Structure 1
Amino acid sequence: MIEIRIECRSISKGEGKGPVLSTKDPISFLGTVDPETGNIIDPNHELHGKCIKDSILIFPYGKGSTVGSYVLYQLKKNGCAPSGMINIDSEPIVAVGAIISDIPLVDRPNVDIFKVIVEGDEVIVNGSEGYLEITGSK
């Protein structure tokens, strides 16, 4: 059952489903996320101590080194990647990382997702067609 459908821009194709893990802090995958576990290891990040594995990770945009693309790839190879990602405005580091790792990614949602989606909501990200669906709430 679909509760809400939100149109977005498609960045990385595929479909992912899972519980939302959301932050208004940008993410630098190099130094913020442990590629072996998927845990947020930066003590200054809002999600410190949480794991991104199998989540729908919502964050405004990526930052930092281009090596972040390869950290996303390592996360995927290690079975610790998010099921999908949603950005407010994706940039090349996250976009390339999602594409080479086959992680569905959309951006530019047509609503303020931080007001519509809450942590723990079940969401489907469809990167092939450019939308997300909230399928259940906490």
Structure 2
Amino acid sequence: SSMHGRRRVSASLASSPEFLEQSAAKAKSYRALLGAVLQASAAKSYLDKQIALSAKLCELNPEAATSWNYRKRATLANHNSENTPIGELPADLRVSVAEAELTVSEAALKRNPKSYCAWYHRRWVLDTWIGKDFAVKPFDAVLERECTLTE
């Protein structure tokens, strides 16, 4: 039987040493990942490796708001360091950033379709990187993809 799309673990299995050891290893790995993202966030360090770790954290725990906020700051720092109005940045850059971020949130939503953090991030991406240009090529393709996902 399952609850919320997750299989239940029998009481005998849940108390087995192998299961407990596996759970402890997963928790340790998650804490290390969370620590790495928190450290990068505090240092305002936006290296590709750190951004990849934040994507993994968002997928593992779609409600990790700190990781989503880190991704927002990283996209702005790495792609708009001059504080140019985003609407004036090259269209291909804006589409590329939007698609990359939407892909991360899509992976998170596959794990938890009701994740407010992932949905808010999608909205931020569309509002920030596409904005009012959603009907103009090449931005229309991003919006079209978004519409097929939410059907």
Report the TM range for the smaller structure's normalisation: under 0.3
More helix by proportion, 1 or 2?
Answer: 2
More strand by proportion, 1 or 2?
Answer: 1
Name the larger-Rg structure.
2
TM-score, normalised via structure 1 length:
0.27
TM-score, normalised via structure 2 length:
0.25
